[in-house]
Amino acid sequence: MKLDKQSYQRLLEQKSPPSPLPLDCLKAFLFGGAICTVGEAVSNFWQWRGLETTDAAAATSITMVFLGALLTCLHLYEKLAKHAGAGTIVPITGFANSIVSPAMEFKSEGLVLGVGAKLFVIAGPVLAYGISASVIYGLVLMLLGGGGGA
């Protein structure tokens, strides 16, 4: 048989099992929801300790990043993530995991070019585009006359 790309593509789609979407979504919902609930508790804790809303939000981010980093270092995050999928990728704990895991992995290439450089191998794009988007938003605000001071 002479194979052409289109008919092979159809055949392989037929033969490749799809991801179990409803189950994946349910697990992502439960794990993601649970992490956010922990975040809510952490935020309440910091407010109870007397931090005002903005500071409490920053303290919550730092705490959640710490928890994500700790679980990564204890090899637990990868085990949770196998089931949770987006439920562990999307929360800020996943951002921490994406920074800590390459740092650990590339320690064998040294502290500067290994740990230091590879730290951002996954999270770098998030910072690059997130920060760029925020600057663009700031410039737009300026143009619209939202600027105060200078």
Partner 1 sequence: MNWMEYFNAFWVGGAICAICQIFIDKTKLTPARILVSLVVLGVALQAFGLYQPVVDYAGAGATVPLLGFGYSLAKGVAKAVAESGLLGAFTGGVTGAAGGIAAAIVFGCLFALIARPKSRS
Partner 2 sequence: MIEHIGQRTLYLTGRPYLLSHASAVGKKEGEGPLGAYFDFVTEDDRMKQKSWELAESALQKTAIHLAIQKAGLHKGDLDVILAGDLLNQCTGSFLASVDSDTPYLGQYGACSTMAQGLALGGCLVEGGAARRLLAAASSHFCSAERQYRFPLAYGGQRTPTAQWTATAAGAAVLGAHGTGRIRLTHVLFGKMVELGVKDANNMGAAMAPAAYDTISALLSDLGAQPTDFDCIVTGDLGHVGADLLLTLLRTDGIDLSPVYSDCGSLLFGDEQDAHAGGSGCGCSAAVLCGPLLRDMQAGKIRRLVFAGTGAMMSPTSVQQGQPIAGICHAVVIERSDA
**Binding status of residue 108 toward partner 2 by CB under 8 A:** yes
15 is a contact residue toward partner 2 (CB under 8 A)? yes
14, 15, 16, 18: residue in contact with partner 1 (rule CB under 8 A): 18
Of residues 54-93, which lie at the interface with partner 1 (CB under 8 A)?
Answer: 57-62, 64-66, 69-70, 72-75, 78, 84-87, 89-93
Q: What distance in Å separates the CA atoms of residue 80 and residue 95, rounded to the nearest whole number?
A: 15
The 3-class SS string of 114-136 reads HHHHHCCCCCHHHHHHHHHHHHH
| CA angle in degrees (0–180, nearest 5) for 29-94-65 | 115
| Both tokens assigned to 19 | 């991801």
The residue from 30, 105, 136, 140 that contacts partner 2 (CB under 8 A) is 105
Q: Which of 63, 62, 61, 96 is nearest to 77 (CA)?
A: 96
Instruction: Mark 109-128 with x for binding to partner 2 (rule: CB under 8 A) and - for no binding.
Output: -------------x------
**CB under 8 Å to 24, separation ≥6 — which residues?**
85, 86
**134 forms part of the interface with partner 2 (CB under 8 A):** no
Distance, in Å, from the CA atom of 124 to the CA atom of 106, rounded to the nearest integer, reads: 16
Binding to partner 2 in span 74-103, by CB under 8 A: 75, 77-78, 80-82, 84-85, 88-89, 94, 97-98, 100-102
Indicate which single residue of 9, 105, 109, 110 sits in contact with partner 1 (rule: CB under 8 A): 105
Dist CA 119 CA 103 (whole Å): 5
Query: Which residues are near partner 2 by CB under 8 A?
Result: 1, 3-5, 8-9, 11-12, 15-20, 24, 72-73, 75, 77-78, 80-82, 84-85, 88-89, 94, 97-98, 100-102, 104-106, 108, 122
